[in-house]
Amino acid sequence: MVVDSETRKKAKAVYRILTKTYPHIRCELDFTNPLELLIATVLSAQCTDKRVNTVTPALFKKYKNPKAYAKAGLHEIEDLIHSTGFYRAKARNIKGLNIKLLEDFGGEVPHTLEELITLPGVGRKTANVVLGHAFDTPGITVDTHFGRLSRRFGWTKENDPVKVEKIVQQLIPQAEWTNLSQRMIWHGRRICHSRKPACGACPVAKICPSVGIGEMDKEKALLLVKTDKDFR
């Protein structure tokens, strides 16, 4: 789908506001190297980053490289990641992706989306997180927040993450894709909530086609807004 110039213009206006609102963005998962970010992102599926960050210190201390993960018993990994949910599937994926890293990539996390998505448990969303934050390769991370905001802003009506990604790629310059993703996710977590968005406290409200679907009273809306401390 090719987007029209008006949609592109409106998207850039929204992004300018988000950039002013969230000037100092960061990945909210704690990591020190590409492997740690890859593992943390796999764990973040159906789990909050805050919860993942309570689990990974012990995990990363025990397993420092792909060989360590590959040799680990599944039950050992499961015990450490249990609180993130879906721990059996996640443990299998973590062990499996590290085995594949050893077999196919010399024990290194690959630098391309095409290679990353061959790893167990790694889809486009996870791959783009790793590319953007570990390798400075711009990518659009379409999680539940990004998809919801893209539809509310009128950028697309699509629900399929890949279709959303392809459409938004046409709206914002490639160099900003990772920053756009992080700002959209931050805005979705802090203000533009799924069930009750804080429209009355939203900096995008004046140009948002969905304004009014949430709380419009400013004082009440401010009570709905989450801050950084809610995610650390």
Given 90, 95, 100, 143, the catalytic residue: 143
Neighbours of 207 (CB within 10 A): 13
**Residue 66: per-residue pLDDT:** 98
**Is residue 62 flagged as an active site residue?**
no
**Is residue 143 flagged as an active site residue?**
yes
CATH class, range 32-133 = mainly alpha
The CATH topology of domain 3-22+139-228 is: Endonuclease Iii, domain 2 (1.10.1670)
With both helix axes pointing from N to C terminus, report the angle between 177-190 and 5-21 in degrees, rounded to the nearest 10.
70
In this predicted model, what pLDDT tens digit does every residue of 117-127 receive, in sequence order? Answer: 999 999 999 99
Given 9, 12, 125, 196, the catalytic residue: 125
**Residue 231: per-residue pLDDT:** 79
- Per domain, the residue ranges of the chain are 3-22+139-228, 32-133
Contact (Cβ atoms closer than 8 angstroms) between residue 41 and residue 204: no
**What is the pLDDT confidence band of residue 163, given thresholds at 50, 70 and 90?**
very high
Amino acid at 201: A
Cα–Cα–Cα angle for 46, 57, 228, rounded to 5 degrees: 60
In this predicted model, what pLDDT tens digit does every residue of 47-63 receive, in sequence order? Answer: 999 999 999 999 999 99
DSSP 3: P
